[in-house]
């Protein structure tokens, strides 16, 4: 089940983030994003467990997808797919017509997910991540 994130979800989201994401926000920034009306922030609940989350920021008619992550125990069953679909739909309803994101060029799973939803690579940002990894900049126009 997908629902909007609540501030009390922040610590569990931070736990998932710490385990899997290279550039972490941390609990305070997550809480601030959940409370910020410019952000659309969803969580996926599976059997009462917060199994994954995703967020994006609205900037006029553009939206920047921040992070999508799913706990390893819950992967490969379509959860990220549902989270991204929900984010895109909510952002479109809020007036977004163009989506951007950055993802490590080495993150085949995430690139596959974004391509499946129509994102195309438009640029590469060299040394974007702390460990010197390049980022693919991806764009979707709807």
Ligand X SMILES: CC(C)(COP(=O)(O)OP(=O)(O)OC[C@H]1O[C@@H](n2cnc3c(N)ncnc32)[C@H](O)[C@@H]1OP(=O)(O)O)[C@@H](O)C(=O)NCCC(=O)NCCS
> Among the residues of the chain, which ranges form H helices?
10-20, 27-35, 79-93, 108-116
Exactly one of 58, 103, 138, 140 binds ligand X (CB under 6 A); that residue is 103
Active site residue 128: no
Active site residue 114: yes
Residue nearest to ligand X (CB): 112
DSSP character string of 71-84? -GGG-SSSHHHHHH
Site string for ligand X, 41-80 (x = CB under 6 A): --------------------------xxxx----xxxxxx
Interaction site with ligand X (CB under 6 A): 20-21, 67-70, 75-81, 103, 107-110, 112-113, 116
């Amino acid at each position: 089940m997908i629902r909007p994130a609540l501030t009390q979800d922040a610590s569990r989201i931070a736990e998932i983030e710490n385990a899997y994401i290279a550039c972490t926000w941390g609990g305070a920034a997550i809480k601030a994003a959940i409370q910020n009306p410019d952000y659309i922030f969803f969580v996926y609940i599976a059997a009462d467990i917060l199994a994954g989350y995703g967020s994006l920021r609205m900037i006029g008619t553009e939206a920047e997808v921040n992070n999508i992550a799913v706990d390893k125990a819950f992967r490969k069953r379509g959860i990220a797919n549902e989270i991204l679909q929900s984010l895109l739909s909510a952002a479109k309803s809020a007036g977004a017509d163009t989506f951007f994101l950055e993802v490590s060029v080495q993150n085949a799973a995430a690139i596959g997910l974004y391509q499946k939803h129509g994102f195309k690579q438009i640029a590469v940002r060299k040394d974007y991540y702390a460990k010197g990894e390049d980022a693919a900049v991806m764009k979707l126009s709807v």
